[in-house]
């Protein structure tokens, strides 16, 4: 069974407190989403395979470990996931980026797909799906289904805030996918928003409300 990793760290707690505050403006919200994403990227890549090689330091040969030619693809779920991509690329500059466009139907809360573009070699890639919010789990589960259709074997899901309902859906539908979150909140409300959550992540990142 894949693991749920809740990143319990003072820096993450502090930054999350700023994201949750309804008085935090667009600029700061976007910056903090980026900072948390970079911290989460560090943890979510902990199990990537490394290969041994040798480099010459100015003093002597050193046996070192590198990522070798491991392919990595970051897949944001549009739109809000876009806010997590560039901060992750700072740590993974050679990663590819695939996009999945999904939005939740406002009445049924079911995900509706409107866009998809993946790198050609995604099947051999370690895939990291990013989205700030895991609410009902419908969007993330559909995104993982879709990526699995390409034959991907290594898939990791990174969300900033999750509801218990969403975590349960991913663990039920995709027990092979590790989940990294900064917090698991209390519940969903009647509109399938995370309580207490941070509101609508896409609107807060892009300033659309
Ligand atoms: C939000 C969020 C997730 C989804 C989570 O996107 O960014 O993709 O909802 O909800 P779920 O777990 O119940 O599927 P939204 O549909 O609001 O689209 P947006 O990113 O374009 O704002
Ligand atoms: N999408 C969001 O942006 N926020 C929520 O609380 C739930 C879904």
- The model's pLDDT over 144-176, given as tens digits with 9 standing for 90+, comes to 999 999 999 999 999 999 999 999 999 999 999
Checking if the pLDDT of 35 tops 90, the result is yes
Does CATH place domain 4-206 in 3.40.50.720? no
Mean pLDDT of the chain: 96
Checking if the pLDDT of 1 tops 90, the result is no
For ligand 1, pick from 30, 103, 192 the residue to mutate: most ligand atoms within 8 Å of CB. Answer: 103
Using pLDDT thresholds of 50, 70 and 90, give the confidence band for residue 139: very high
From ligand 2's centre to the CA of 162, what distance in Å? Answer: 9
* CA dist., res. 142 & res. 195, Å (int): 22
- The model's pLDDT over 89-127, given as tens digits with 9 standing for 90+, comes to 999 999 999 999 998 888 898 999 999 999 999 999 999
User: For position 209, what pLDDT does the model report?
Assistant: 86
User: For position 122, what pLDDT does the model report?
Assistant: 95
Checking if the pLDDT of 5 tops 80, the result is yes
Checking if the pLDDT of 181 tops 80, the result is yes
Contact 133 CB / ligand 2 (< 6 Å): yes
* Straight-line distance from the first to the last Cα atom of the chain, in angstroms, rounded to the nearest whole number: 39
Asked if residue 154 lies in contact with residue 178, where contact means CB atoms within 8 angstroms, the answer is: no
* Distant-in-sequence, close-in-space partners of 7: CB < 8 Å, separation ≥ 6: 39, 40, 43, 180, 181, 182
User: For position 174, what pLDDT does the model report?
Assistant: 97
Hey, whose CA ends up nearest to atom 13 of ligand 1?
A: 136
Quote the percentage of the chain above a pLDDT of 90.
95
Tokens at 53, concatenated: 């090689």
Nearest C-alpha neighbor of 7 from the set 128, 197, 181, 198: 181
Quote the pTM value.
0.96
Using pLDDT thresholds of 50, 70 and 90, give the confidence band for residue 3: confident
Contact 138 CB / ligand 2 (< 6 Å): no
* CA dist., res. 196 & res. 22, Å (int): 11
Q: Which long-range contacts (CB under 8 A, 24 or more apart) does 112-120 make?
A: 113/142, 113/146, 115/78, 116/146, 118/73, 118/75, 118/147, 118/150, 119/73
Hey, whose CA ends up nearest to atom 7 of ligand 2?
A: 193
Least confident segment among 58-67, 80-89, 107-116, 172-181: 107-116
């Amino acid at each position: 069974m894949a693991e749920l990793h809740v990143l319990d760290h003072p820096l993450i707690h502090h930054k999350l407190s700023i994201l949750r505050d309804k008085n935090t403006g667009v600029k700061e919200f976007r910056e903090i989403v980026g900072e948390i994403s970079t911290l989460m990227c560090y943890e979510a890549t902990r199990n990537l395979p490394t290969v041994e090689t040798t480099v010459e330091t100015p003093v002597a040969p050193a046996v070192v470990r590198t990522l070798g030619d491991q392919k990595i693809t970051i897949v944001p779920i549009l739109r809000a996931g876009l806010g997590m991509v560039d901060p992750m690329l700072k740590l993974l500059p050679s990663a590819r980026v695939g996009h999945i466009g999904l939005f939740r139907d406002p009445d049924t809360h079911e995900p509706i797909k409107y866009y998809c573009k993946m790198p050609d070699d995604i099947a051999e890639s370690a895939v990291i799906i990013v989205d700030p919010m895991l609410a009902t789990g419908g969007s993330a589960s559909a995104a993982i289904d879709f990526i699995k259709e390409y034959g991907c074997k290594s898939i990791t899901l990174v969300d900033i805030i999750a509801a218990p309902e969403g975590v349960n859906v991913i663990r039920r539908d995709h027990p092979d996918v590790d989940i990294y979150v900064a917090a698991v909140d209390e519940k969903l409300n009647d509109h399938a928003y995370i309580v207490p959550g941070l509101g609508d992540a896409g609107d807060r990142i892009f300033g659309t409300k």
